[in-house]
């Protein structure tokens, strides 16, 4: 059974609707929920048309993402770059189509390259992690790699984020070997990808209701729980003020930080499926290093 670390509506970050279903939670940050997943837009329209897309939604998301981008940044606008937290189907589904449409570079951690350049498929999902129908259906989710060709670029080794001044990327593996999160120290804003999520993702009910809760990464697609635990500990140590994740609404404040700390300190009993320290494949690609590449 999934242990729930409850949050309530007072822990949600304030948002403003900005057209085409896009929700603004900071002057330069907005997100759009695409069925089961969020994509994030970085850039302040009041300061110009430069912007960055973070993740690329489902295979059916291209038109919705373009529409939301044009609503926020103007017709025929295009991003300076696409930053990928990781390459799972719900985060990279429209990546090839969008990268080609806009002809822009795609940045990711080098360890994630095989899943974005056509070389490797992710390991099978684990439907027996508990929680509901989403987990049971997970073996049907696409695993094949995407291929963005020569548009794929490595994130800088100094942890800077292209076209996002003031941000740094953090290697937060476990859910995927090259998974990254993005961190801005100045206002303590965290874009966590799926290293943590702020709503349950294992059941259809949780996905539909988006009840705010603090969770570890989606269980059915997390192959290395040791790495996932270290990644959550890293994120908790940041003591963020605002978090936006790949699934769920943005959250903020003291209670959110307390729940994240509780998740980190009790990760094995809260997040890891019973009997599955390694949910899929015990082979580990190496130790995490957040100061440089492995």
289 confidence band (pLDDT: 50, 70, 90): very low
Whole-number pLDDT of residue 290: 39
Region 32-51 average pLDDT: 94
Residue 110, pLDDT above cutoff 90: yes
The pTM of this model reads 0.92
271 confidence band (pLDDT: 50, 70, 90): confident
Region 62-77 average pLDDT: 95
Residue 122, pLDDT above cutoff 80: yes
Region 202-214 average pLDDT: 86
Region 231-236 average pLDDT: 98
Whole-number pLDDT of residue 166: 98
Residue 185, pLDDT above cutoff 80: yes
pLDDT in tens, 151-170: 999 999 999 999 999 999 99
Q: Please provide the average confidence, as pLDDT, over all residues in the chain.
A: 90
Whole-number pLDDT of residue 274: 75
Whole-number pLDDT of residue 108: 98
Whole-number pLDDT of residue 293: 35
Residue 276, pLDDT above cutoff 70: no
Query: Can you spell out the DSSP letters for the chain?
Result: ----EE--GGGBPP-EE-STTEEEEETTEEEEEETTEEEEEE--GGG-S--EEE----TT-HHHHHHHHHHHH-TT---SEEE-S---HHHHTTHHHHHHHHT--EEE-GGGGGGTBTS-PPPPP-TTS-SSHHHHHGGGS--PPPB-GGGEEEPPTT-B-TT-TTEEEEE--SSSTT-EEEEETTTTEEE-TTSSBSS--SSHHHHHH---EEB-S-GGG---HHHHHHHHHHHHHT--SEEE-SSS--EEHHHHHHHHHHHHHTHHHHTSPTT-SSSS---------SSS--
Region 22-42 average pLDDT: 97
Region 110-123 average pLDDT: 95
Region 86-111 average pLDDT: 97
Regarding predicted confidence, which is higher, 284 or 159? Answer: 159
């Amino acid at each position: 059974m999934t242990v729930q670390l409850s949050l309530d509506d007072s822990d949600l970050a304030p948002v403003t609707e900005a057209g085409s279903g896009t929700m603004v939670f900071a002057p330069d940050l907005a997100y759009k929920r695409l069925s089961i997943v969020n994509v994030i837009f970085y850039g302040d329209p009041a300061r110009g048309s430069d912007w960055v897309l973070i993740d690329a939604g489902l295979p059916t998301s291209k038109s919705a993402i373009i529409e939301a981008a044009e609503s926020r940044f103007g017709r025929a606008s295009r991003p300076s770059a696409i930053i990928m937290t990781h390459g799972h189907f719900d985060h990279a589904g429209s990546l090839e189509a969008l990268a080609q449409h806009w002809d822009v570079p795609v940045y990711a951690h080098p360890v994630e390259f095989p899943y974005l350049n056509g070389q490797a498929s992710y390991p099978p999902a684990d439907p027996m992690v508990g929680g509901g129908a989403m987990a049971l259906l997970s073996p049907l989710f696409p695993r094949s790699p995407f291929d963005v060709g020569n548009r794929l670029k490595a994130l800088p080794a100094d942890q800077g984020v292209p076209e996002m001044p003031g941000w740094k990327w953090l290697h937060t593996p476990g859910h995927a070997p090259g998974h990254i999160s993005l961190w801005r120290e100045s206002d303590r804003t965290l874009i966590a990808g799926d290293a943590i999520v702020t709503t349950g993702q294992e059941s259809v009910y949780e996905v539909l209701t988006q009840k705010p809760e603090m969770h570890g990464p989606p269980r059915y697609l997390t192959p290395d729980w040791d790495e996932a635990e270290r990644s959550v500990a890293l994120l908790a140590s940041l003591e963020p003020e605002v978090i936006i994740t790949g699934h769920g609404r943005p959250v903020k404040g003291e209670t959110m930080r307390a729940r994240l700390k509780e998740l980190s300190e009790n990760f094995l009993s809260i997040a890891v499926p019973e009997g599955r320290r390694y949910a899929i494949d015990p082979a580990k690609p190496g130790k995490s290093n957040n100061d440089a590449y492995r």
